[in-house]
Structure 1
Amino acid sequence: MAKIETVYPRLVVSDGAAAIGFYVKALGAEERCRYTDNDGRIVHSEVVIGGVTVAVKDADGTDPSPDNVNGTPVILALYTDDAKAVADRMMEHGATVIFPVRDQFYGERAGRLADPFGHVWMVAQKSGDLSPDEIQRTLTG
């Protein structure tokens, strides 16, 4: 079997330059590269968020953005040492709250936000040390 070398998300957005700006300001991303076509649309870019590469590109006829397909079924999980501070910074730069950051039954302080480009982020931090069995028991009673 062939060895998988890496997996990274490619976020398709309606405005790549604005999205990169949001990720830099709100999440502390570092832009690694950006390639544009003759019309200036981003066909591939890479930002690094928390040591993870995330590609960002402008929507086109092949790749629609979440606002072109009524949302996205993908949730990006972002773990941090201060979920509330990261969520607040995201909101300062245009993200909207889906679920506010609060203590969760599974031993995390977490919330969910949508960035201005339709991608959904779960922002979380560890707040307890529950075993997998304890988490399962809280789900099933």
Structure 2
Amino acid sequence: MTRIQQLYPRLVVDGADAAIAFYTTAFGAELVERYTDPDGNVVHALLRAGAATWAVKDADRYDPAPGGGGLPVILALYVDDPDAVAQSMVDGGGSVIFAVSDHPYGERGGRLSDPFGHAWMVAARTEDLGPEQIQQRTAGMY
């Protein structure tokens, strides 16, 4: 069995920067990291308040916000072996949304749906990159 390293929710919203401002004010959250596409849309922003960690991202064609018929949360699961976890999910009745593959922002991962309709981003970090490198590589994907 692979070792789980981290689990946090990813909230899909219309207006990620407004959501970040809200969570900063309402919960005293600290913005840990924030990455955007070339148009300035937030593709990942990690927040921390006390022992709680969660991410926020702008809705897009793959991840509509809840009001637009999308899932309200994507669970981000970091593990030692995302390929093995993805296969275990499929073997258990899950389905592949995006196959596990290498990504230029220093992760290997994919997205799967469990048999109950929840979306899981299963990934492992493959490179130790700084925030500037991640932002540059993320923007280059679009």
Q: Name the TM-score, length of structure 1 as normaliser.
A: 0.49
Which of structures 1 and 2 has the larger relative contact order (alpha carbons within 8 angstroms, sep 6+)? 2
Q: For the pair shown, which has the larger CA radius of gyration, 1 or 2?
A: 1
